[in-house]
Amino acid sequence: MFRSYRLRLIRRRWRFRAWRKGRELRPLMSRVQSIRHHDILAFAVLRNERIRLPYFLDYYRKLGVNHFLIVDNDSTDGSREWLAQQPDVSLWHTEASYKRARFGMDWLNGLLRRYGHGHWTLTVDPDEFFVYPFCDTRPLRALTDWLDSSAIRSFSAMLLDMYPKGPIDGEAYREGQDPFEIASWFDSGNYQIARDKIYGNLWIQGGPRARHFFQDAPARAPALNKIPLVKWHRNYVFASSTHMLLPRGLNLVYDEQGGEKASGCLLHAKFLDTFPAKAEEEMDRRQHYAASHEYRAYREGLSRQPELWCKWSEKYINWRQLEILGLMSKGNWA
């Protein structure tokens, strides 16, 4: 009782913060009037991701995302100009601190509250690519219709770090290219899961980042649990990145009695040749989680041994492979 009241207060606080930080956003190109009642919306914050954007937008358009709502955190590489020309993108701009907006989450919570209400919303980074059961034959709309009919409000997709064979900067990524032509490998079975007692979500850690950079500080390894697809209601908030939400019921994307709920994966195309430069830049800006500890660890780890690949790495084929390996599940969707 007490706890649920406390969580309600926390939720209010994040909502208030979202409102306050929302004032830092300046609309650059608003096409929100064109959003229709049943549209699926994608939300993202980005900075200097110009080279990735064409493939990113294309990928999600093909899945069936109808409109993109994007916050540009002061890009200098032309991302903003390029995005403003896209017919299905609404764009906001801010020069404020990413870190002090709780890593962009305050901005997105504000946009979600204003434009996401009643829509299926997908909150992703520009290097995250959503894969769900039957994604090769059924559009995203099929999934959201099924979730609606099953009275499910949120859908889990674990972050799966993808990496190339050989050094990370071994092959250059070209604009518009499928990043998984280069970074096509992943760890299939070194993940640890623990349950959060307060928020009820699962914390998943592991994968190549834990294996390489956080051997000795496993508690600081990045979290891989994500709940990117939510049927948004104006009272919802993301509590910490897209790892968990409030109210708590949205975090119960797993079954506790032995069954499997349906789930997907977010393929993470972070480890491309663009990564070392990004790590360098982020180190200087100190705008990332835990005082950029992650990026520091990468920089040190990568200068020691620039290859994430090992002989047990698995080469990505399709979602069925991920489901067989036990990284995601069809649940009772057939």
Partner 1 sequence: MTVGFIMLCHTALDRAAQVARHLAERGCPVVIHVDRRTRRRPVHRLHEMLKGVPDIRFCRRHHCEWGGWGLVAATQTAAELMLKEFPQVRHVMLASGSCLPLRPVAELVDYLDARPHTDFIESVTTTDVGWTVGGLDEERFTLRFPFSWRKQRRLFDVYVKLQRHLGFHRNIPDGVIPHLGSQWWCLTRRTLSAILESPSRPEHDRYFRKVWIPDESYFQTLVRLYSDQVESRSLTLSKFDFQGKPHIFYDDHLQLLRRSDCFIARKIWPHAERLYATFLSDDIGGQPRAEPNPGKIDRLFAKAVERRTRGRPGLYMQSRFPGSGWEPSRTCSAYSVFEGFADVFENFDTWLGRAAGMRVHGHLFAADRAHFAGGETVYSGALSDGAGLRDRNPAAFLSSLIWNTRGERQCFLFGPRDVQTVSEIVAADVNAHVSVISGAWSIPLFKANLNFAEIRREAARLQKIELAHLDMLRRPQSKARVRVWTLAEFIENPMEPLQTIVDEISPRSLRRLTEVPRMTDLTGFGQFLQNLRNQGMQPVLMGDFPVGADGQPGDSRRGRPYLVR
Name the residues that contact partner 1, by CB under 8 A. Answer: 134, 137-139, 141-142, 145-146, 149-150, 156-158, 187-195, 202, 204, 206, 208, 210-211, 214-219, 221, 225, 253-263, 310-314, 326-334
Q: Say how far apart CA 320 and CA 323 lie, in whole Å.
A: 5
For partner 1, give the closer residue by CB, 171 or 314.
Answer: 314
The SS3 call for residue 310 is coil
Q: How far is the CB of 114 from partner 1 (least distance, A)?
A: 27
- 210: its two tokens: 């834990």
Whether the Cβ atoms of residue 280 and residue 299 lie closer than 8 Å to each other: yes
CB of 118 to partner 1, least distance (A): 17
**Nearest approach, Cβ of residue 55 and partner 1 (Å):** 25
Residue 47 CA from chain centroid, whole number:
15
User: In 3-state terms, what secondary structure has residue 229?
Assistant: strand
Q: Which is nearer to partner 1, 1 or 219 (CB)?
A: 219
Dist CA 142 CA 112 (whole Å): 22
Given a contact cutoff of 8 angstroms between Cβ atoms, the answer to whether 40 and 65 are in contact is: yes
Provide the 8-state DSSP code for 263. B
* Nearest to partner 1 of 44, 328 (CB atom): 328
How far apart are CB 243 and partner 1 at their closest, in Å? Answer: 11
> Minimum distance between the CB of residue 299 and partner 1, rounded to whole angstroms?
20
Angle between the 289-304 and 275-285 helix axes, to the nearest 10 degrees?
A: 140
Q: Which residues contact 88 (CB under 8 A, 6 or more apart)?
A: 31, 34, 57, 61, 66, 67, 68
Smallest distance, Å, CB 26 to partner 1?
Answer: 37
Compute the least distance from the CB of residue 200 to partner 1, in Å. Answer: 11
Nearest approach in angstroms of CB 192 to partner 1 is: 4
**How many CB atoms sit inside 10 A of residue 252's CB?**
16
Q: Which is nearer to partner 1, 17 or 196 (CB)?
A: 196
238, 245 contact by CB (below 8 A): yes
Compute the distance between CA of residue 238 and CA of residue 230 in angstroms, rounded to an integer.
10
Cα dihedral 154, 160, 161, 163 sign: negative
CB closer to partner 1, 15 vs 212: 212
**Closest CB to partner 1 among 27 and 259?**
259
Residue closer to partner 1 (CB basis): 54 or 301: 301
- How far apart are the C-alpha atoms of 59 and 130, rounded to whole Å? 9
Provide the phi-psi class of 313: left if phi over 0, else alpha when psi is between -120 and 50, else beta. Answer: beta
Tokens 């409000």 sit at which residue? 153
How far from chain centre, in Å, is Cα 163?
17
Nearer to partner 1, 17 or 261 (CB): 261
Q: Compare residues 193 and 277 and give the one whose CB is closer to partner 1.
A: 193
- What's the closest the beta carbon of residue 56 comes to partner 1, in angstroms? 23
